Amino acid sequence: MNIVLLRDSDHWCGADRVVLSDRRAVHIRSVLRSKVGDSIRLGLLAGPLGVGEIMAISPEGVTLQVCLHQSPPPRHRFDIVLALPRPKVLRRILRTVAEFGVANLHLINTARVEKSYWQSPLLSPAKVEEALLAGLERSSDTIAPQVHRHPLFRPFVEDQLPQICADRPCLIAQMGAHQPLREVSSGVALVMVGPEGGFVPFELNLAQAAGAQPVHLGSRTLSVDTALTTALAQG
């Protein structure tokens, strides 16, 4: 945790003083080993960054004097469309998109996505938020990605994808494509990353008919989480 994230719903005492009594207080006492008078990095979820001076520490909580004056870092230039991965991979991916500052993550169904993935407890709003917050805390950011779910592939590609890409390129990762992602666009774009084994030909054809342009991420076959990280690193 490189930053302590605050919420509007926390126990605020006026506009600039807050009392924490949950895992964040434990982190300040036991991990940071902070003392009264020390300053720590803070951020308000969906708001500015800043610092907090520790005014009091007790077994019941930690009291902070808060000064938030810094804008959060800019968003990544890529939004992501991602075939829903295995649940154990999903948590890592949620942290990754938060760390990179992705604004929107669209989780989609494809022929190679197991139906059971959509019933995973890790897709619950609470678990998604937990993973995103872990990424924000690691990267010192306050703006969580918006996670959108699209359990039907064809309606998403035919009805929603053209609208999402109306004012920017849509790029689909495909082994064997002629153009590398890093050379295609220097501005904002939407990047589609398939499941393990890639998109099937029908899905590739449908996406290209909707305006998606094939690109490659390199000459190696990559796992989903590595492919996503590679795409974001090239942005």
Sketch the domain layout of the chain as residue ranges: 4-70, 78-233
Range 78-107 average pLDDT: 97
Residue with tokens 């890790």: 122
Which of 79, 104, 87, 97 minimizes the C-alpha distance to 134? 97
- Judged on CB neighbours under 10 Å (0-12, 13-18, 19+), 148 is middle
Question: What is the tens place of the pLDDT at every residue in 120-145?
Answer: 999 999 999 999 999 999 999 999 99
Going by CATH, does the domain composed of 4-70 fall within 2.40.240.20? yes
Which of 83, 81, 93 minimizes the C-alpha distance to 196? 83
Question: What is the tens place of the pLDDT at every residue in 48-81?
Answer: 999 999 999 998 899 999 999 999 999 999 999 9
CATH topology of domain 78-233: Alpha/beta knot (3.40.1280)
